[in-house]
Amino acid sequence: MKLAKRMDALVPGIFTELARARAEKEKTGTSVIDLSIGSPDLPPAPHIIHSLAQAVMKLDNYTYPISGKLALHKALADWYKQRFNVELDPNKEILTLMGSQDGLAHVAQAFINPGDIALVPDPGYPIYSAAILLAEGQLYPMPLLEENQYLPDLQSIPDEIAKKAKMMTLNYPNNPVAASANKEFFEQVVEFAKKYDIVVCHDVAYAELAFDGFRPMSFLEVAGAKDIGIEFYSLSKTYNMAGCRIGFALGNADILAALGKIKSNIDYGVFSAVQEAGIAALTGDQSCVAQTAATYQKRRDILVDGFAKLGWQMPKPQASMFIWAPIPPGHTSSMEFCLDLLDKTGILMVPGNAFGKRGEGYVRIALVQKEEVLREALERARSFFL
C-alpha cells in the first residue's frame, strides 16, 4: 500500500514526539500539566446548553441540514453589525461550516492549482499550510517577527512572488504568536491584494478573547476588504462550543460560492440542533463572553507574572488564549527546552518550531487549565528555574 506523495508533507513529527514524551512521563506516575493543546476547558453558558438539549429532542432535526439556517445567518449578521459595524447579506455573504477549520482546510481546493503559490504566516497555525499542500500548491512563508510586532512585511515579498500568488492567509488575534493587528495593517493588506489579485482569508477565531479593554477588529471593517477576501469566525472560542463544530466564512460572495461548491461535494452541513444552539449563543445573554475573556485574562496574569518572579520574562498578550514566550537563556532549542521542562516538572508546552521555521526560539503556552492548576505549574517550575 503506497500513500500519496502529498501525505509526506503532513507528518506531524514534533507533535508525535511530544505525545511520546508525555506518555513516557506519565508511566513514572507523574501527572502531566498540559499547556500545549489549545482546546477550551470552559463549558458553554447554560442557555446555550439548554437550547441544544431542546433541539436534540426535535425529530425533524435529524434530516440532512444541507446548508446553514437562514435564522442562524441573520443572527450572525446582526452580531457582526453590532460588534464590528460590518454589514453582511445573510443569503450571500455567510456560509455555515463545521468549525472554521473546516473552511480553512477546504478553501484552497477552490483556488489553488498544483504549483500555485500561497502566502502563509510563519509561524502559523498548521492548517494554513496543510490546506495548501493538500491542494498541491507551493508555500511562500511570510515571517512573523517580534521586531515587526509579528505582522508580515508585505513590502518585502518579491514582486515576482506576489504576481504569482493566488491566496494569502492571515490570523489576528494570532495563534500561535498571540499578536494583534490594527486598521492600518489591514488597509495595507487590501491594497496589496487588489494590486496582485490575491484572495485573502482572515481567521478571527480569537476576537472575543481580549484583555485589558482591548477590542480586536474584523478584517471586513476595512474598506474594500469584501472585494478581495473572506473572514473565518468560530463559536468555539467565543462561546466554548469547540466540540459542537460550528463556524462561518463571511465576506466576498463569489469566494463563498466557490467554497460552498466544494463543501456541497463533501458533506451535508452542520447538525440542525447545533445550529439552533448557535442561534441561542449569538442572540442570547452575552455576559458569558465577557466572563470567558476575564477568565483567560486572569490565567494570563497568573502565568506571566508568576514566571517573571522565577526569572522567565514573557510579554502579556492583548488577546487570544495563548502566550508566546522566548525560551529562557541556556537552552539550545525550543524542543530541547520543552522536553527538559516536561522531564523535570511534568509541564507540557509546545515548541515554537511546531508552527514553522520562524517559531524556533519560542514556546506556545495555552491558557487552558484552571487557576489552581496553573499555580501548581508555577510551584513545580520553581526548582527548574531557581
pLDDT tens column, 9-55:
776 778 888 889 999 999 999 999 999 988 999 999 999 999 999 99
Phi then psi dihedrals of residue 199, to 5 deg:
-80, 125
Judgement on whether residues 171 and 250 belong to the same structural domain of the protein:
yes
Query: Which pLDDT score is estimated for 13?
Result: 72
| Number of structural domains found in the chain | 2
Q: What would the grid cell of residue 4 be?
A: 500519496
Judgement on whether residues 264 and 364 belong to the same structural domain of the protein:
no
Each residue of 248-274: pLDDT tens digit?
A: 999 999 999 999 999 999 999 999 999
Judgement on whether residues 185 and 234 belong to the same structural domain of the protein:
yes
Query: Which pLDDT score is estimated for 159?
Result: 98
Judgement on whether residues 303 and 262 belong to the same structural domain of the protein:
no
Judgement on whether residues 277 and 293 belong to the same structural domain of the protein:
no
Judgement on whether residues 23 and 98 belong to the same structural domain of the protein:
no
Q: Where a domain ends, among 283, 316, 336? A: 283
Sheet-wide strand order for 362-366: 322-326, 362-366, 350-351
| Range of the structural domain that residue 340 is part of | 5-42+288-385
Q: Where a domain ends, among 283, 318, 339? A: 283
Judgement on whether residues 72 and 191 belong to the same structural domain of the protein:
yes
Contact status, residue 72 vs residue 278, Cβ threshold 8 Å: yes
Q: What is the CATH number of the domain that holds 260?
A: 3.40.640.10
Judgement on whether residues 136 and 74 belong to the same structural domain of the protein:
yes
Query: Which pLDDT score is estimated for 12?
Result: 72
Of 170, 104, 167, which Cα lies nearest the Cα of 137? 167
Which residue stretches of the chain have pLDDT < 70?
11
Report pTM: 0.96
Judgement on whether residues 21 and 88 belong to the same structural domain of the protein:
no
Element (H, E) at 203: strand 199-203
Query: Which pLDDT score is estimated for 11?
Result: 65
Residue type, 88: L
Q: Where a domain ends, among 283, 299, 321? A: 283
Q: What is the CATH number of the domain that holds 300?
A: 3.90.1150.10
The 3-state secondary structure of 120-159, one letter per residue: EEECCCHHHHHHHHHCCCEEEEEECCHHHCCCCCHHHCCH
Judgement on whether residues 315 and 212 belong to the same structural domain of the protein:
no
The full DSSP string for 293-304 is HHHHHHHHHHHH
